[in-house]
Amino acid sequence: MKFSLKTFLWLLPLTIVLTQKLSAQDNNYISVLARELRNTKITAFQNVENYPEHTIKLSDLDGKTAILLDFGGINCRGCVAGLPVLDSLQKKLKNKLLIIWVTQNSKEQISEFLTNNKIGKKLSIPIMANDTDLYNYFLGKSRQIPQEVMIDCYGNTIGLVGGQVVSGPLLNFLANVRMGTGHYVELWKDPR
């Protein structure tokens, strides 16, 4: 095969399209992370509002409940707008999945949000205030919110989903997660 400028020009867009497709899959679907929460120093979720003891120990969840960490903040419109969907998802999944809204907002800001914001007033999911460890560990330099991290009931980090909270990829993702029962959960329908 003779390699010419023509071949190069033909290959360039093809390669870009191919890698774009791979990259889009990473961003929008599941990029399986070979990181395990159990290998970190994180043993509990601290400063949790909307939760009786304000601390969720990972040891209490081990083998029982999968965790969905939704990274967001009260200043992010898209994050706040997605909360009612997560809340209804939590009610539907009850003990199989624990959804935690992870924020870097202060406790005072979260309390004010739960008291004054019309979406906040109706929320029942636990909300973590003042987080830095989980943000640094899971999101690294990416400062984009919302993003969701799924941890299965054995403490394995199994996926990171970016973008829309209520998007199809997240729901498909949940369909393939080992929940508290140790079985894969049947395909979810959009709770909306």
Partner 1 sequence: MRKIYFLLPLLMIISSGLYAQIENPVKWSYAAKKMNQQEAVVFIKATIDENWHIYSINQKPGGPLKTSLVFIPSTGYQLEGKLREPTPHTVHDEVFDMEVSYFEKSVVFQQKVKLNTGQAVVKGKIKYMVCNEEKCVTPDDVDFSIPVK
Would you tell me which residues interact with partner 1 (CB under 8 A)? 1, 3, 7-8, 11-12, 15-16, 18-20, 22-23, 27, 73, 75-81, 112, 116-119, 141-146, 163-164
Cα(58)–Cα(172) distance, integer angstroms: 25
- Min CB(112)–partner 1 separation in Å: 7
Identity of the residue, 37 or 128, whose beta carbon is nearer to partner 1 in the bound complex = 128
Contact (Cβ atoms closer than 8 angstroms) between residue 30 and residue 169: yes
Identity of the residue, 63 or 168, whose beta carbon is nearer to partner 1 in the bound complex = 168
- 49 Cβ contact list (under 8 Å, min separation 6): 107, 110, 111, 114, 126, 127, 128, 129
Q: Residue 171 is which amino acid?
A: L
- Min CB(11)–partner 1 separation in Å: 7
The tokens describing 130, both together, are: 């003042």
Identity of the residue, 39 or 142, whose beta carbon is nearer to partner 1 in the bound complex = 142
Identity of the residue, 73 or 159, whose beta carbon is nearer to partner 1 in the bound complex = 73
- Min CB(33)–partner 1 separation in Å: 15
Looking up tokens 């393939």 gives 176
